[in-house]
């Protein structure tokens, strides 16, 4: 059901996620999102139907990993709306491990992490190697940043990162078990920790730490602008 009384087939939209043309596949994600936004009077029922539809999470995971900023953004928006006030969908997202949707979200966040050397224990012994072989053996899910992602301006990168965080927020808010799964997911927590460390380098936050009586809202606004 759409907000204006028309009907769109959930099955067709889910099938569209698998189109070879990523613009068409992205349109499928946008359609699913439209059916589940709070302004849609049928949103709650639509979330139940879509969340229970086979291959929907796999299709959205495909877009998250596509390397296309637009596809990844709209896939995350659809995921966040599916998880909004829906414990079953929140847990489905965290349980989707074949393919691994939480790892795909973590990898997307990791694209915007500050560069840092690999842990000392994973470097090539007795040399200056980058430890690539050791990282693969340890199960690190690291890959080169897609060209389209590398070319994002700051505003677009911020929007994409925010879309991922909305997925995690809605999953954690909607399901205590999903919240615990997020907290236990090493890659997700590493990416989130790096974001917090990056934010802490903001002059606005450092000023707030020295002046706790300041306006928190103003500090947050300045920090968001600088990230």
Residue whose structure tokens are 């968001």: 224
Is the confidence at residue 25, as pLDDT, over 80? yes
Q: By the 8 A CB rule, do 110 and 102 touch?
A: no
Q: What are phi and psi of 151, to 5 degrees?
A: -90, 5
129 pLDDT more than 50: no
- What pTM was estimated for this model as a whole? 0.76
Burial readout 186-205 (b: 16 or more C-beta within 10 A, e: otherwise): ebbeebbebbeeeeeebebb
- Nearest to 92, CA basis, from 39, 170, 204: 170
Strand ranges (E), the chain: none
The pLDDT, as a whole number, for residue 150 is: 73
Q: Name the percent of the chain lying above pLDDT 70.
A: 70
For all residues of the chain together, what is the average pLDDT?
80
Helix axes of 69-83 and 154-174: crossing angle, nearest 10 degrees? 20
Evaluate whether 49 touches 37 at the Cβ level (below 8 Å): no
- Which pLDDT does position 42 carry in this prediction? 94
Taking the C-alpha atoms of residue 13 and residue 85, their distance in angstroms, rounded to an integer, is: 22
**pLDDT average, residue stretch 113-137:** 45
Looking at per-residue pLDDT, the higher value among 5 and 171 belongs to: 171
Name residue, tokens 């915007």.
Answer: 112
Of 115 and 135, more confident: 115
Of 196 and 191, the structure prediction assigns the larger pLDDT to 191
What does DSSP assign to residue 144?
Answer: P
Which pLDDT tens digit goes with each residue over 29-86? 999 999 999 999 999 999 999 999 999 999 999 999 999 999 999 999 999 999 999 9
Any idea what DSSP says for residue 122?
G
Range from 68-77, 84-93, 113-122, 166-175 carrying the lowest mean pLDDT: 113-122
Mean pLDDT of 133-156: 57
118-132, 141-155, 190-204, range with greatest mean pLDDT: 190-204
């Amino acid at each position: 059901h759409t907000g204006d009384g028309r009907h769109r087939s959930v099955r067709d939209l889910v099938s569209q996620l698998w189109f070879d043309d990523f613009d068409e596949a992205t349109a499928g994600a946008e359609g699913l999102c439209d059916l589940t936004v709070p302004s849609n009077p049928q949103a709650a029922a639509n979330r139940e139907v879509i969340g229970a539809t086979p291959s929907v999470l796999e299709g959205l995971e495909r877009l998250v990993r596509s390397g296309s900023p637009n596809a990844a953004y709209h896939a995350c928006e659809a995921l966040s709306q599916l998880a909004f006030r829906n414990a079953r969908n929140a847990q489905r997202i965290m349980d989707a491990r074949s393919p691994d949707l939480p790892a795909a979200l973590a990898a997307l966040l990791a694209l915007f992490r500050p560069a840092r050397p690999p842990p000392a224990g994973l470097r090539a012994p007795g040399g200056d190697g980058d430890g690539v072989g050791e990282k693969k053996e340890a199960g690190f899910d690291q890959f080169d940043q897609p060209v389209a992602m590398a070319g994002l301006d700051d505003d677009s990168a911020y929007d994409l990162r925010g879309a991922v965080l909305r997925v995690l927020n809605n999953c954690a808010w909607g399901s205590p078990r999903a919240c615990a799964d997020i907290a236990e997911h090493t890659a997700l927590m590493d990416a989130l920790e790096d974001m917090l460390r990056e934010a802490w380098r903001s002059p606005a936050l450092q000023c707030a730490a020295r002046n706790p009586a300041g306006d928190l809202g103003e500090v947050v606004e300045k920090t968001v602008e600088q990230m």
